[in-house]
Amino acid sequence: MYSVPNSLTEKQRLRNAVLAKRDALTPDFRDKAARTIAENYADELNIQSGQIVSGFWPIRSEIDPRPLLHSLRERGALICLPVILNKTQICFRLWQENQALIPCGFGTMAPDKTAPILRPDVMLIPLAGFDSQGHRLGYGAGYYDRYISSLHATNHFPELIGFAYTCQELPCVPDEPHDVPLEKIVTENGLRFFQTRY
């Protein structure tokens, strides 16, 4: 009989707890946090004109990256959003200003098939939680881990930046071999750096 590994059980417990904390944040706090990051920390990310930056369309109580993405676009970055292709794969399509988006599963929105597929140089990554070592607790589907691993297999190593509220920090996130660590995380309290393992 198959049993769920302890690490998965622990990850789900941590995920439930930290998402409950995130859900409890007020709408005013969420709006202010998103604007604070865009207004105060966009320069610290050191995104260069012409770089391809992947963002995401916020769902549920996720911190909203759109103010930051707009700021980075004004600095000359190309912005792309994730598109769910099937149960295991995503790609990223160019998102131009004022471009109409379509539903893309899980409540997300994304450019349609007419938008070019891009390969990000910098990835702003959504998450449920993170710890002081840069370990990321995702939502359990593994889309980002698989996508990043596929890029690494072609010797392309995008900069990985978590995007979250400070309250999403955990004492420790169980680390498994397939998990890809973050290099940085940006919250409403600023930018933090982590040591990477590749």
Which residue carries 């099937």 as its tokens?
86
Which superfamily does 6-193 belong to? NagB/RpiA/CoA transferase-like (3.40.50.10420)
DSSP label of 169: B
Q: Are 99 and 115 in contact (CB under 8 A)?
A: yes
- Total-model pTM: 0.91
Range with the poorest average pLDDT among 81-85, 121-125, 172-176? 172-176
Burial of 120 from C-beta contacts in 10 A (0-12 / 13-18 / 19+): buried
What average pLDDT does range 134-152 have in this prediction? 93
pLDDT digits (tens, 9 = 90+) for 65-96: 999 999 999 999 999 999 999 989 999 999 99
Chain center to CA of 198: 19
Domain boundaries, the chain: 6-193
Q: What is the mean pLDDT of the chain?
A: 92
Percentage, residues of the chain above pLDDT 90: 82
Beta-strand relationship, 102-103 and 109-110: antiparallel
